Chain A
Amino acid sequence: MKINKHIAVSDSGFVFNPVTGESFTANPMGIEIIEMLKKEQTVEEIHAAVLDKYHTDNTTVEKDVAEFFELLKNFSLIDRHETTEN
């Protein structure tokens, strides 16, 4: 799972893809996960980090993170080729 490395993320939650010219906003949890992806953390590491910090459970996190990845893919923020190789 690799995030497109040109993506710019700011503290305000503004996400910009200079390749496509599209901009997005994300909530703090979204930004946190994008930052983890940029550091090339694995899905399992992301799950663990979220569970460690927030009051929630494994099923919820797995489901929500998977859905978030779907959104990132739809928005072309995750490189499709690399994800299929994973």
Chain B
Amino acid sequence: MEKLRYERPLIKRLDGNMPNKFGMRSDYTPKTHIEGVAVKDLIKKYGSPLFVISERQIRENIRKARKAFETRYPRVQFAWSYKTNYLDAVCRTFHQEGSWAEVVSGFEYDKALHNGVEGSKIIFNGPDKSSADLEKAINNNSLIHIDHLDELYKIQELSKKQNKTVRVAIRVNMDTGIYPMWDRFGFNYENGQAWTAINKIMQSETLELVGLHTHIGTFMLSPNAYATAAYKLAELARNIRLKYNHEINYIDMGGGFASHNTLKGAYLPGTDISPSINEFAEAITTALINSDFPQNKLPLLILETGRALIDDTAFLLGSVITNKRLSDGRRSTILDIGVNILFTSFWYDHKITPAQPFTQYTEDTVLYGPLCMNIDVVRENINLPLLNNGEHLVVHNVGAYNMTQWMQFITLRPRVVMIDMEHKVHVIRDNETLKSLLDLEHVPDHLTKFDL
């Protein structure tokens, strides 16, 4: 006789306060396959943990986002936010879908060039651009978004030296009624800094003011804040028109649209409260269309959406190392996925589902990572079915920031695979080995030998 699936014995005390999950149907469904490929097979072939990215989902997300904006507004351009996920295969999928590159460092800039993005289609943001970075960007005719006055002067100097006209925009920060206000980046709207910077640029012979940029925050749940921001940028554009009879080419609304993750401390899950891309599109395009721009001269609308386009395209697969009961009676499960590779577990209560069928019996569980560090907590409290050692789990919505903010800490970073449109699996980043790290290290001669 075939043996039955084992589940550990469980008994829970019932009390009136306890939400009762017994008898409820479909609290979870197992995530056994990703894009038609079995999780079990992926782990067998590529190891655990493993990042898995769906090419189909990336293409679907960017097409949906383009449609949301393009049906509401005549001129739209997306630029892929490199910092959100700069794996080449990911960037190139976005570039194939027509996205430009948006970078915030010399390293990211070089990566965009390496990916074959034309210099004029690279938007260079961020507070830290070295003289060398800027020279390169000026030579390539890239769009440089100025963050502070020192940078403005530096660009002016370089442009004179190179005798080149530089296409610039300024980053504007402003009060859009949301908290926290990101006033550390760019020039403030309300106190007139932005207007001062604009005047300096307009009076410069070598700088051409082509756009206005803002990025009001991250994981924004309020489309209205974007409408406010768009109105304020349109107001600046109007003042430029009145004073200089100069029309800017584009408005860059930055990124920050929330994904479907659930922020820690939120009462309702992200899937319920995060606005859809259509709601953001409606708010932004309505504000621009209703503003003072002449109808035949509406500026190009640039969007640097990162998280909302990539988060749900990626999964992190892992396995149970062991189950333990803590001294206070709580159940804990230790996974081979830790905060070293799942950085976003500091911000989110990630959705985590088993990768194999299970019963409706669940237990409140603390999920720990494998690191020998107390901070390594993946979920402080999650109601999970009973998992056995070696069984697999899937962490959902991990596409944004994890594959750029992960740490090589205590252990090596795992593989990343992409499943293509034909369900074929490609390794797009190898797992690190001891060699990949030792290649960077040098031991002084006198330290090469020791006796123990």
Contacts and interface: CB of A to CB of B under 8 A. Distances in A.
Touching in the complex, A and B, CB below 8 A? yes
Interface of A: 13, 15, 22-30, 32-34, 50, 53-56, 60-61, 64-65, 67-68, 70-72, 74-75, 77
Given A64-B9, A67-B325, A68-B10, 6 more contacts: A24-B11, A27-B361, A53-B3, A54-B6, A55-B4, A72-B11
A27 B14 contact: no
B7 interface: yes
B329 A74 contact: yes
Contacts of B8: 29, 60, 64, 67-68
Nearest to B5: A55
B359 interface: yes
Given A27-B9, A68-B8, A13 B22 contact: yes
25 contacts: A15-B11, A25-B11, A25-B20, A26-B9, A26-B10, A27-B9, A28-B7, A29-B6, A29-B7, A29-B8, A29-B9, A30-B9, A30-B11, A32-B9, A33-B9, A34-B11, A55-B3, A55-B5, A61-B6, A65-B9, A67-B8, A68-B8, A74-B329, A75-B11, A77-B11
In terms of DSSP, what is the predominant structure of the interface of chain B?
A: loop
A26 B11 contact: yes
Interface in B88-110: none
Interface in B1-28: 3-14, 20, 22
Contacts of B389: 60
A34 B116 CA distance: 67
A27 B13 contact: no
B388 interface: yes
Interface in B105-163: none
Nearest to B388: A60
B393 interface: no
Interface in B324-365: 325, 329, 359, 361
B386 interface: yes
Contacts of A56: 6, 388
A13 B389 CA distance: 25
Contacts of B7: 27-29
Interface residues of B, number: 21
Nearest to B20: A25
A66 to B, nearest CB: 10
Contact of A25 (B9, B12, B329, B386): B12
B329 A30 contact: no
A37 to B, nearest CB: 11
B386 A27 contact: yes
A30 B9 CA distance: 4
Contact of A55 (B6, B14, B22, B329): B6
Nearest to B11: A26
Contacts of B329: 74
Contact of A24 (B5, B14, B388): B14
A27 B13 CA distance: 12
Contacts of B325: 67, 70
A29 to B, nearest CB: 4
Contacts of A55: 3-6
A57 B4 CA distance: 13
A72 B386 CA distance: 18
Contacts of B13: 22-24, 75
Interface string B356-391: 000101000000000000000000000000101100
Among B8, B20, B361, max chain A CB count under 10 A is at B8
A55 B356 CA distance: 15
B22 to A, nearest CB: 5
A75 B361 CA distance: 19
Given A13-B22, A24-B11, A25-B22, A54 B388 contact: no
Q: Which 4 A-B pairs have the closest CB atoms?
A: A56-B6, A27-B361, A54-B6, A55-B3
A36 to B, nearest CB: 11
